[in-house]
Amino acid sequence: MFRSIKAPIGFIVSMSLLVIVVTVLLFAASESKRLYQDNIKTQSDFFSETIAQLIFPLVNEGTWDNVPIENALSTLSYRENLIAVRIYSPDYSRVVQLNGRESERLQESFFQELDPKNVPVGVVDDCQIVVTHYPIGSPAFVRGYVQVYTDVRAPVGSNFFSLVFYVFSPVFIVFVITLIVCLLAVNKLLKPLGALSAFTKQVTQAKDYTLRHKYTKRDEIGGLTHNINRLLETIEVELLINQEQNQALMDQQEIMTRLANYDSLTGLPNRQFVFDSMKLELARAKRNGDDVALLFFDLDGFKGINDSLGHETGDLILVEVASRVSMLLREGDLVARLGGDEFLVVPDRESNDASLHNLATRLIHAFAEPFELRGLSLTVGVSAGIAKAKDAEYDLSELMSNADLAMYRSKAKGRGSYTVFTPDMVESHKRKLHLANAIEKGLANNEFSVYYQIKINQRGQVIGMEALLRWNHPEYGMVMPSEFIPIAEQGGRISSITHWIINKVCQDLPELKQWVGRKFRVSVNLSVHDLRNSNLFDNIYAIFKRHDTNPEYMEFEVTETAYLENFANSNKFFKRLSNMGCAIALDDFGTGYSSLSYLTQISIDTLKIDKQFVREIEQSERSRLVTGSIIDLAKRLSLQVCAEGIENEAQWEYLSEHGCDSVQGFLFSKPVPIDDLMSVPLCFPRRVLDMDFLGV
Ligand code: C2E
Ligand code: MG
Ligand code: MG
């Protein structure tokens, strides 16, 4: 009802004052009435006595004459408030009556009903009339009686009104002044309460619980202030505890977010993070019809580094890779580690084809510099694949799989390159999957066959042949090893193939021996994955044993990359093969590692010059220099040199003139099945050509 406590207090004070004032007024009025009545009564007594004395001489002689009495009284009739004066004889038989100014106040019947002897004396008739009864003469000798009737109602009434009139105004003024003083006092008393209320409002609005209210008096408000201050102290302490707990929670949440979203080794965002952000980015791009690109890359030969130099070195390389790649990127590009040696770069939204190519090129170049780690200088290349969201219809897993496909294309092309995904790669991927799954069945169903390609010496005689695998697939027809060998390697099926071909060559060996008729060697290719198989030597030994194969008829070819990737194991393995009588050839020499220092440490018999140098002998001075140097190097190291890919007489002539021990190529024979091999000549006479153009 009241908005402020001051109002009810003011109301109570004013009502109390009013009640006091009214009570005082009423009491004063009643007291005044009583006093006034007493006063009139006294006056009436005195008046009666005066009349008695005035009348006494007129009735003293014992005569009773009304006329002189009436005359004596007549002068009194104007007395104020006088109703009547009655003079009685001693026996109350005679009466003289004087009517006063207020005579009409009484009916004549009043006197008729009245017993003059026993008239009530004092204030009678309901406080309206004062009656006095006074003897004339001495009490011992009474000559008559005087009765005076005086009106009290009218004078008392007018007295009350004048009392009210004269008393009310000052009382009212006093009332108002007292009220104002009381209200001011209340206001003053309540002022600290108002200040306290304003203070609590300030705290609520500012939410500043460090504020304290100052009020030093030891009254109720002081107690309240103290309690509020203590309440604020408690809130402040609780808030502090709360804030600390919140901070701890936030720190914990940050750590958990970091753990969940960032790679602990490199500090880069992890798969989870990049996938979450890519989902949002793809949804946005789809809405706006934009394209988003991904660059996916992994390190070439990282597994080999891990295996040969240990995981600690591998980790150091990954950290170094992360920092090299981060430095390449512009603001807005994102790089993440997906796991192992796989990384992902999400270029800025604004990137176009040119900037993507630029990024990929810079990335590959950034890895040209070797990593200097623990005193080692390691060159690690990258293979990258680029895919775009539109090609994957904005589906994240399809986009990732496209980038992955493109990256594997780069690996197949030759490492240290990048490939942009095109939709036809999906088809080829399906084909790859299909082939990978069909290898075991193909081996069991005899879909594979061995083709032999002869090798001849400087005199043109067949000195051996390379066993090259072919797959006559029921659906795809003839599938070449350059396609299915990498698939078999990735799918972990290369061991079965190697096992199968060695077995087959051992089976064919008697027939081949019969055909050649003198000492020769059959070469079998081994892959990098074969060298990781610790049972390989035992398996070969078992096959030789089974077929009673003389190891001196066998040669194994391995690429320098495969050899060096698992250097220690390869060295051990080839030494054992060598000790058994097998020959070892380093295939595709010149395409892999640039350092030649390892050549003195490995156990091989032959260097095979890669066909890419042979092909360009006629046109490229550089290729001539490389082949010449390889032959020279081999001679110094007492190694045999074999050149592959000879397609014309000039190439053969050039290589023979430079001291190449043996050659292999379409010039002599393409790889053919064993049956066709029998019709291949065993000797190729070399024509002497004019080699001036080659500077021979
Ligand atoms: P490679 O060991 O260097 O074999 C030589 C490749 O050069 C063969 O290709 C052969 O057909 C080809 N070649 C030989 N002379 C010429 C020529 O004059 N001109 C041209 N253009 N090419 C010539 P192929 O048979 O397609 O084999 C490709 C590769 O597949 C081989 O290269 C080898 O690394 C791998 N491979 C073949 N069979 C096997 C196998 O049984 N096991 C393993 N691990 N790899 C194999
Ligand atoms: Mg080979
Ligand atoms: Mg080769």
Residues 363-385: pLDDT tens digits? 999 998 888 887 778 888 899 99
Query: Two tokens at 523?
Result: 């070469």
Same domain, 310 and 331: yes
Most confident residue range from 127-131, 153-157, 340-344, 431-435: 340-344
624 near 654, Cβ under 8 Å?
yes
Is the pLDDT at 696 greater than 50? The verdict is: no
* Cα(665) to centroid(ligand 3), Å: 11
Looking at residue 468, its pLDDT comes to 98
Most confident residue range from 228-232, 265-269, 520-524, 596-600: 520-524
How far is it, in rounded angstroms, from Cα 264 to Cα 258?
8
Is the pLDDT at 657 greater than 50? The verdict is: yes
665 lines ligand 1 (CB under 6 A): yes
Among 525, 528, 536, 655, say which to mutate for ligand 1: greatest number of ligand atoms within 8 Å of CB.
Answer: 525
Residue/partner pairs of 457-461 with CB below 8 Å, 24 or more apart: 457/661, 457/662, 458/656, 458/660, 458/661, 458/662, 458/686, 459/683, 459/686, 460/683, 460/684, 460/685, 460/686, 461/682, 461/683, 461/684
Looking at residue 61, its pLDDT comes to 63
Q: What percent of the chain has pLDDT over 90?
A: 44
337 near 270, Cβ under 8 Å?
yes
* Cα(614) to centroid(ligand 2), Å: 15
Q: Which residue has the CA at smallest separation from atom 29 of ligand 1?
A: 482
CATH number of the domain at 147, please: 3.30.450
Same domain, 15 and 137: yes
655 lines ligand 1 (CB under 6 A): no
469 lines ligand 1 (CB under 6 A): yes
Is the pLDDT at 229 greater than 80? The verdict is: yes
Q: Which residue has the CA at smallest separation from atom 28 of ligand 1?
A: 482
CATH number of the domain at 362, please: 3.30.70.270
Boundaries of domain holding 315: 271-422
Same domain, 628 and 568: yes
481 lines ligand 1 (CB under 6 A): yes
300 lines ligand 1 (CB under 6 A): no
Choose among 282, 489, 272, 483: nearest CA to 398. Answer: 282
Mean pLDDT of 497-526: 97
How far is it, in rounded angstroms, from Cα 41 to Cα 29?
18
Q: Which residue has the CA at smallest separation from atom 21 of ligand 1?
A: 645
Same domain, 38 and 146: yes
Instruction: Determine the residue type at 273.
Output: F
Same domain, 575 and 611: yes
Is the pLDDT at 672 greater than 90? The verdict is: yes
* Cα(626) to centroid(ligand 3), Å: 16
What is the average pLDDT score of the chain? 87
Question: Which parts of 378-423 fold into alpha helices (H)?
Answer: 396-413
Q: Which residue has the CA at smallest separation from atom 7 of ligand 1?
A: 645
How many structural domains compose the chain?
Answer: 4
647 lines ligand 1 (CB under 6 A): yes
Is the pLDDT at 126 greater than 80? The verdict is: no
* Cα(605) to centroid(ligand 2), Å: 14
Same domain, 607 and 676: yes
Same domain, 254 and 289: no
Q: Which residue has the CA at smallest separation from atom 12 of ligand 1?
A: 645
Is the pLDDT at 403 greater than 80? The verdict is: yes
Query: Two tokens at 305?
Result: 């580094």
Mean pLDDT of 203-225: 89
Looking at residue 114, its pLDDT comes to 74
Mean pLDDT of 155-184: 80
pLDDT single digits (tens) 60-98: 666 677 888 888 888 877 788 888 888 888 888 777 888
Same domain, 329 and 250: no
Q: Which residue has the CA at smallest separation from atom 4 of ligand 1?
A: 468
557 lines ligand 1 (CB under 6 A): yes
Q: How many CB atoms lie within 10 A of CB 2?
A: 10
555 lines ligand 1 (CB under 6 A): no
Is residue 194 included in any domain, yes or no?
Answer: no
666 lines ligand 1 (CB under 6 A): yes
Is the pLDDT at 322 greater than 90? The verdict is: yes
Q: Three-state DSSP class for 169?
A: helix
Is the pLDDT at 511 greater than 90? The verdict is: yes
Is residue 155 included in any domain, yes or no?
Answer: yes
* Cα(607) to centroid(ligand 3), Å: 10
* Cα(608) to centroid(ligand 3), Å: 7
* Least confident stretch, 68-82, 342-356, 511-525: 68-82
Is residue 30 included in any domain, yes or no?
Answer: yes
From the CA of 489, which ligand is nearest? Answer: 1
* Cα(572) to centroid(ligand 2), Å: 21
Same domain, 405 and 538: no
* Cα(466) to centroid(ligand 2), Å: 7
Binned at pLDDT 50, 70 and 90, residue 692 comes out as low
Is residue 200 included in any domain, yes or no?
Answer: no
pLDDT single digits (tens) 102-124: 777 776 777 777 788 887 777 66
* Cα(182) to centroid(ligand 1), Å: 118
* Least confident stretch, 140-144, 282-286, 431-435: 140-144
Same domain, 524 and 381: no
Looking at residue 496, its pLDDT comes to 94
610 lines ligand 1 (CB under 6 A): no
CATH number of the domain at 669, please: 3.20.20.450
pLDDT single digits (tens) 8-65: 887 888 888 888 888 887 887 788 778 877 888 888 888 888 888 888 888 766 667 7
Is the pLDDT at 622 greater than 90? The verdict is: no
501 lines ligand 1 (CB under 6 A): yes
Most confident residue range from 136-150, 282-296, 420-434, 676-690: 282-296
From the CA of 523, which ligand is nearest? Answer: 2
Among 453, 456, 468, 559, say which to mutate for ligand 1: greatest number of ligand atoms within 8 Å of CB.
Answer: 468
* Cα(647) to centroid(ligand 3), Å: 14
**∠4-5-11 over CA atoms, to 5°?**
105
Same domain, 638 and 534: yes
Q: Which residue has the higher pLDDT, 155 or 193?
A: 193
**Residue where the block lists tokens 């949002």:** 280
How far is it, in rounded angstroms, from Cα 372 to Cα 93?
161
* Cα(468) to centroid(ligand 1), Å: 6
453 lines ligand 1 (CB under 6 A): yes
Is residue 432 included in any domain, yes or no?
Answer: no
Is the pLDDT at 503 greater than 90? The verdict is: yes
Is residue 616 included in any domain, yes or no?
Answer: yes
Binned at pLDDT 50, 70 and 90, residue 656 comes out as very high
Is residue 412 included in any domain, yes or no?
Answer: yes
Q: Which residue has the higher pLDDT, 453 or 101?
A: 453
232 lines ligand 1 (CB under 6 A): no
Q: Which residue has the CA at smallest separation from atom 16 of ligand 1?
A: 645
* Cα(671) to centroid(ligand 1), Å: 9
588 lines ligand 1 (CB under 6 A): yes
Looking at residue 592, its pLDDT comes to 61
N- to C-terminal Cα separation, the chain: 123
Is residue 39 included in any domain, yes or no?
Answer: yes
Q: What percent of the chain has pLDDT over 70?
A: 95
Q: Are strands 376-378 and 142-151 parallel, antiparallel or unpaired?
A: unpaired
Question: Which parts of 491-620 fold into alpha helices (H)?
Answer: 494-516, 528-531, 536-547, 560-565, 567-580, 611-615
Looking at residue 136, its pLDDT comes to 86
37 lines ligand 1 (CB under 6 A): no
Binned at pLDDT 50, 70 and 90, residue 474 comes out as very high
Looking at residue 693, its pLDDT comes to 47
**Residue where the block lists tokens 């940050």:** 254
Mean pLDDT of 208-224: 88
* Cα(636) to centroid(ligand 1), Å: 27
* Cα(688) to centroid(ligand 1), Å: 28
Same domain, 304 and 253: no
